[in-house]
Structure 1
Amino acid sequence: MGRRFLSFLGRLASWPIALLILFEEWGWEPLQHGLVWLSARLHLRWLEPRIRALPPYAALALFVVPTLLLLPVKLLALWLVGQGHVALGATVIIVAKLAGTAIVARLFSLTQPALMRLAWFARLYPRWVAWKDALLARVRSSYAWRWSRLVRRRTARWWYRLRAA
């Protein structure tokens, strides 16, 4: 009974985790490209070679910093929700998530070679990727996922026909 219950809890918990990972996957490349574009406009591209040249543990620290810096912003959003400003709080959380994903995606692409020089990271990273890919494959093969893709395609076709008329 205990093992079956733990298995059920694991499957139940995998859905929110999978949705979070799917968001990250969806936003990883486009948001990173947006940040590259923004850094070019702000003349910050000179930072990239310096970031790539960081030693492994400095690269790890730089990679973790955005997560730590966004924590107070997320707490502010929760406080806003608690004060009755639900829309503003939700907006702050969404903007923080988008900005955080963009920054982490860009920093990871710049620091990955240095991070892979850390033995523990090089050992764990392929395991993470395999676990994540298996989880996403399970979600993408689910009825709910396939149904939502069908609805999205039908809605897109309807929208294009409506705009063309």
Structure 2
Amino acid sequence: MNRFKKVLRAVLLAPVALFLLFEEWGWEPLAAAFAALGRLPWWGRLERWITRLPPWAALLAFGVPVLALIPVKLLALYLFGLGHVTVGLALILAAKLTGTALAARLFQLTQPALMQMPWFARLYTPWKAWKDKIMAQARASWPWRTARRFKMRIKLAGARFLAALKAALS
């Protein structure tokens, strides 16, 4: 029975782990991409304004844009139903990337205010600990380590290729 529980847990946690891996992969780079917009004067003013919001307004600033993407995702499902699979898939992908980037940046800006709300801090702290534990297990796994080595080889080969191309063109 204990072995069955382990297998069942692994099967049930696999989709959650994949979701967390996507969020982890996308969260930092996409937040950084959005943060780069902060160099634009009006965008920088908007970000500074968001960081000064009181907790209740920070919750709205974080939640409303993320929730606003739900109709876009529903439109994509509607397009799937009409047989427009490519357009629907592109819309889902664009909404996911945009939503992740927006959520990541907004969370960076609003987290200090959000953590002032006891109920948010009470929910976020164990969630973060659980997520970090799952991510540590994923990073320690053989597939993760193998993929990381492969990624480093590809990156190194790309750098070598670019250096050779640059040398050939000079």
- TM-score bucket (shorter structure): 0.7 to 0.9
Judged with a 3 Å threshold, the aligned counterparts in structure 2 of structure 1 residues 155 and 32 are, in CA distance, closer, same or farther, namely closer
Q: Is this contact kept in 1: 2:50–2:58, CA < 8 A?
A: yes
Give distance in 2, aligned partners of 1:40 and 1:156. Answer: 29
- Counterparts in 2 of 1:2-151, with a 5 A limit? 7-41=6-40, 43-151=42-150
CA distance in 2, matches of 1:155, 1:53: 43
Instruction: Report if the CA contact (8 A) 2:38-2:47 is conserved.
Output: no
Report what 2:168 is aligned to. Answer: none
| 1-structure distance, mates of 2:119, 2:54 | 15
**What one-letter code is carried by the residue in structure 2 that aligns with 1:143?**
W
Which letter maps to 2:95? Answer: A
Deviation at 1:71, TM superposition (A): 0.6
- Long gaps (5+) in structure 2: 166-170
Identity of aligned residues (%): 51
1:26-69 per-position Cα deviation (integer Å, ceiling 9, x unaligned)? 22222122223335437222222321222212211221112211
Tell me the amino acid that sits aligned with residue 112 of structure 1. Answer: Q
Q: CA RMSD in A?
A: 2.3
For structure 1, the residue ranges without an aligned partner over 5 or more in a row are: none
Distance 2:90 2:41 in 1: 25
TM-score by length of 2: 0.81
Q: Contact 1:14/1:135 (CA < 8 Å) preserved in 2? A: no
- The alignment's TM-score, normalised by the length of structure 1, stands at 0.83
8 Å contact kept, 1:56–1:115: yes
Give the AA of the match of 1:71: I
Q: Give 1:8 deviation, angstroms.
A: 3.5
Q: Distance in 1 between matches of 2:100 and 2:112?
A: 19
* Contact 1:51 1:59 (C-alpha < 8 Å) held by counterparts: yes
**Separation in structure 2 between the aligned mates of residue 15 and residue 155 of structure 1, nearest angstrom:** 27
AA paired with 1:19? L
Letter in 2 for 1:10: R
After TM superposition, give the deviation of residue 153 of structure 1 in Å: 3.2
